[in-house]
Structure 1
Amino acid sequence: MAKKQIRLNAFNMNCVGHINHGLWTHPRDTSTQYKTLSYWTELAKLLERGLFDGLFLADIVGVYDVYGGGIELTARESIQLPVNDPLLLVSAMASHTTHLGFGVTANLTYEHPYLLARRFSTLDHLTGGRIGWNIVTGYLDSAARAMGLTAQHEHDRRYDQADEYLSVLYQLWEGSWEDDAVIADRLGRVYARPDKVHKVRHHGAFYDVEGYHLSEPSSQRTPLLYQAGSSERGVNFAGQHAECVFIGGQDIQAVRHQVDRTRASAVAAGRTPDAIKVFMGLSVIVAPTEAEAREKHADYLRYANPEAGLAHFSSSTGIDFAGYGLDEPIRYQKTNAIESVVKAFTGKDSGWTKRRLLEQHALGSRYPLIVGSPSQVADALEQWVDETGLDGFNLTRIVTPESYTDFIDLVIPELQTRGRYKTAYEPGTLREKLFAQGARLPPDHAGTHWRNLTHQASQTPRQTAI
Structure 2
Amino acid sequence: MPKQIHVNAFEMATPGHINHGLWRVPGNRRTEYKDLTYWTDLAKVLERGLFDAVFLADVVGTYTTYKGDRRAALRAGMQVPNIDPAFVVPAMAAVTEHLGFAVTSTTTYEPPFGHARRLSTLDHLTRGRLAWNIVTGYLPDAALNYGLSEQIKHDDRYAIADEYLEVVYRLLESSWDDDAVVQDAEALVYTDPDKVHEIGFEGQYYRVAGPHLAEPSPQRTPVLYQAGTSSRGKGFAARHAEAVFLLPRDDQQAREEISDLRRLAVEAGRAPDHVKAFVGAEVVVAPTRAEVEDKVALLKEYRDVEGHLVLFSGWAGIDLSGDDTDAYLEYKAGDAMQTFERMWSEGADRKKVGELVQHLSAPENDNRFIAGTPAEVADRIEEFIDTTDADGINLIQHLSPGTFADFTEHVVPELQRRGRYRTAYTPGETLRERLFGAGHARALPDHPAAQYARAAATVG
Kindly state the Cα deviation for residue 366 of structure 1 after the two structures are TM-superposed: 5.3
Query: 2:139 aligned with 1:140, yes or no?
Result: yes
* Comparing 287-296 and 390-399, the one that deviates more: 287-296
**Contact 1:8/1:393 (<8 A) preserved:** yes
- Tell me the equivalent position of 1:445: 447
- The match for 2:386 is 386
Deviation at 1:285, TM superposition (A): 0.5
Q: What is the CA-CA distance between 1:239 and the residue it aligns to?
A: 1.0
Does the Cα contact within 8 Å between 1:114 and 1:209 map onto a contact in 2?
yes
Name 1:414's counterpart in structure 2.
414
Q: What residue number does 2:202 align with?
A: 203
For residue 200 of structure 2, give the secondary structure of its aligned residue in structure 1.
strand
1:373 counterpart = 2:356:
no
Tell whether 2:417 aligns with 1:423.
no
Please name the residue that 2:268 is paired with: 269
Q: Aligned-pair distance for 1:39?
A: 0.2
Paired residue for 1:283? Answer: 282
CA distance in 1, matches of 2:272, 2:333: 33
**Aligned ranges for residues 315-326 of structure 1 at < 5 Å?**
315-326=314-325
Per-residue displacement from partner, 1:142-174 (whole Å, max 9, x unpaired)? 101121112221111111111111100110000
Q: Deviations over 1:293-350 (max 9, x none)?
A: 1221012100001221011110111111111433332233342001122122226975
Matches within 5 A, 1:217-236: 217-236=216-235
Tell me if structure 1 keeps the 8 A contact 2:177–2:457: no
- Range with greater deviation from structure 2 (43-52 or 282-291): 282-291
TM-score after normalising by structure 1? 0.95
**Structure 2 Cα separation of the partners of residues 148 and 350 of structure 1:** 39
Shift of 1:25: 1.1
Whole-angstrom CA distance in 2 between matches of 1:278 and 1:22: 29
Residue of structure 2 equivalent to 1:250: 249
Please give the residue correspondences for 1:285-434 in structure 2 after superposition, counting only pairs within 5 Å.
Answer: 285-346=284-345, 351-363=350-362, 368-427=368-427, 428-434=429-435
Determine the C-alpha separation between the residues in 2 that align with 1:363 and 1:97: 36
Matched residues in 2 for 1:405 and 1:454: separation? Answer: 45
Q: How many residues align?
A: 457
Q: Which residue of 1 aligns with 2:15?
A: 16
Task: Decide which moves more: 379-388 or 228-237.
Answer: 228-237
8 A Cα contact 2:249 2:343, kept in partner: no
Partner AA of 1:327 in structure 2: D
Q: Would the aligned equivalents of 1:259 and 1:389 in 2 still touch at CA under 8 Å?
A: yes
CA RMSD of aligned residues (A): 1.6
CA distance in structure 1 between the partners assigned to 2:457 and 2:193 by the alignment: 12
User: C-alpha distance in 1, partners of 2:90/2:418?
Assistant: 35
Local SS of the residue matching 2:47:
helix
**Structure 2 residue matching 1:371: 3-state secondary structure:** strand
Partner of 1:461: none
Distance in structure 2 (CA, Å) of the matches to 1:6 and 1:358: 33
Separation in 2 of the partners of 1:116 and 1:40?
A: 23
Change in Cα spacing, 1:147 to 1:126, as seen in structure 2 (3 Å) is same
Q: Distance in 2 between matches of 1:368 and 1:166?
A: 32
The AA in structure 1 aligned to 2:290 is A
Question: For residue 222 of structure 2, what is the amino acid of its counterpart?
Answer: P
| Stretch deviating more after TM superposition (325-334 or 161-170) | 325-334
The aligned amino acid for 2:454 is: N
- Cα displacement string for residues 48-95 of structure 1 (whole angstroms, at most 9, x for unaligned residues): 000000000000010001101112211111000001000000000000
> Match for 2:39: what amino acid?
W
Q: Distance in 2 between matches of 1:452 and 1:138?
A: 31
- Please say if residues 329 and 348 of structure 1, whose CA atoms lie closer than 8 Å, have aligned partners that are also in contact: no
Deviations 1:201-235 (A, max 9, x none): 11101101112000000000000100011111111
Distance 1:3 1:456 in 2: 41
**8 A contact 1:181–1:194 mirrored in 2:** yes
**Distance across 1 between alignment mates of 2:38 and 2:232:** 38
**Moved runs in structure 1, 4+ residues, more than 6 A?**
455-458
Range with greater deviation from structure 2 (338-347 or 448-457): 448-457
- Is 1:454 the counterpart of 2:453? The answer is no
* Greater displacement, 291-300 / 31-40: 291-300
Q: Which amino acid aligns with 1:360?
A: H
**SS at the partner of 2:132?**
strand
1:91 and 2:86 matched: no
Q: Which blocks of at least 5 consecutive residues in structure 2 are unaligned? A: none
Work out the percentage of aligned pairs sharing the same amino acid: 48
The match for 2:185 is: 186
Q: Tell me by how many angstroms 1:137 deviates.
A: 0.4
TM-score by length of 2: 0.96
Once the two structures are TM-superposed, the CA of residue 353 in structure 1 deviates from its matched residue by 2.1
The answer as to whether partners of 1:16 and 1:31 remain within 8 angstroms in 2 is yes
Give the Cα separation in 2 of the matches to 1:48 and 1:251: 30
Offset of 1:448 from its aligned partner? Answer: 1.2
**Does 2:65 match 1:63?**
no
Contact 1:58 1:104 in 2 (8 A): yes
- C-alpha distance in 1 between matches for 2:41 and 2:56: 15
Q: Cα offset for 1:452?
A: 3.1
| Inter-partner Cα distance in structure 2 for 1:22 and 1:450 | 46
| Alpha-carbon offset, residue 453 of structure 1 | 2.8
In 2, distance between residues paired with 1:455 and 1:424? 36
Unaligned runs of 5+ in 1: 459-466
1:177 equivalenced with 2:176 (yes/no): yes
State the shift of 1:351 in Å: 2.8
Shift of 1:355: 2.6
Bigger mean CA deviation after superposition, 28-37 or 333-342: 333-342
Counterpart-to-counterpart distance in 1, 2:250 and 2:172: 39
Cα-to-partner distance string for 1:213-269 (whole Å, 9 max, x where unaligned): 000000000001000111111111111111000011132111000110111111111
- Worse overlay, 348-357 or 41-50: 348-357
